[in-house]
Amino acid sequence: MADTTKILNCPACGKEMTKIFMASEGVNLDVCLDGCGGILFDNRELKKFDEQSENIDELKQAMQGKNFEKTDENQIRICPVCGANMVKNSVSVKGDVIIDECYSCGAKFFDHGELTKMREEYPTEEDRRQALLTETYNEIGAKIDDLELKNNMNLAKRSKFLKAMDKLFYKDVS
C-alpha cells in the first residue's frame, strides 16, 4: 500500500489526523494531533522509524507541548485506510507494547507513547529480533530439554530385548 494522501480519521478517537512529512524518508505519517496523539503507519512505514537511530524529529516537534486525551485501548478499532477490523498485537518481546494492526492493508496504529516505548526497549530491529529468539528458546528450549530427559530415562528403563530391537531399527541408539 502506498502512502495515502487522503485525510484519515483516527481509529482510537475518531478525530481528523494530520499528515506529518518525515523528510528523512519522504513519507507522510498520520498523527492525531488534536485528539489522542496516536500514530498510524501505512503498510511498510514502521520499518523506517522503529530503531532508536532513525530520525523522528518532525514527529517529536509536531507533538511537543500537546496534551492528548485518553482513549479506551481495549476497544476494537477500525482501520481508517481500508475499513477492516484491526487486531491487537504485541510489538514488544516483553509484551509491554500492544498496537492495533490491520491484516487487510498492513496499517499499524500506535496509541500515544507506544512508539517511544517500543523504540526504547531495543536500539535496533536486530536486537529486538535476537531478544525474541532468546526468549523463544528459553521458553520452548526448556520444554524440549525436559522431553529429551524423560525420553532418555524411558530408554534406559527398556528391556534388553527392546534395546536390541532399537539397535536393529534405529542407527543412533546407544
Using the Cα atoms of residue 86, residue 37, residue 123 and residue 29 in order, give the sign of their dihedral.
positive
Total-model pTM? 0.77
Compute the mean pLDDT over every residue in the chain, rounded to the nearest whole number.
89
**Residue 1: pLDDT over 60:** no
Please, are residues 39 and 109 in contact by the beta-carbon 8 Å criterion? yes
What pLDDT score was predicted for residue 2? 57
Give residue 27's identity as a one-letter amino acid code: V
pLDDT tens digits along 107-137: 999 999 999 999 998 888 888 888 888 888 8
Neighbouring CB atoms inside 10 A of 105's CB total: 14
CA end-to-end span of the chain, whole Å? 56
Q: CA-to-CA distance for 84 and 14, rounded, in angstroms?
A: 15
Tell me: pLDDT of 155 over 90.
no
Helix, strand or coil, per DSSP, at residue 160:
helix
pLDDT at 22: 94
Q: Which among 95, 80, 87, 89 is positioned nearest to 38, based on CA atoms? A: 80
Whole-angstrom CA distances from 65 to 28, 33, 78, 80 are 21, 11, 28, 26
Cα 54–Cα 91–Cα 84 angle in degrees, nearest 5: 105
For residue 151, pLDDT beyond 90: no
Strands (E), the chain: 18-22, 27-31, 39-41, 87-90, 98-101, 108-110
Whether 102 contacts 77, CB under 8 Å: no
The model's confidence at residue 38, banded by pLDDT at 50, 70 and 90, is very high
- Give CA–CA dist 142/147, Å, rounded: 9
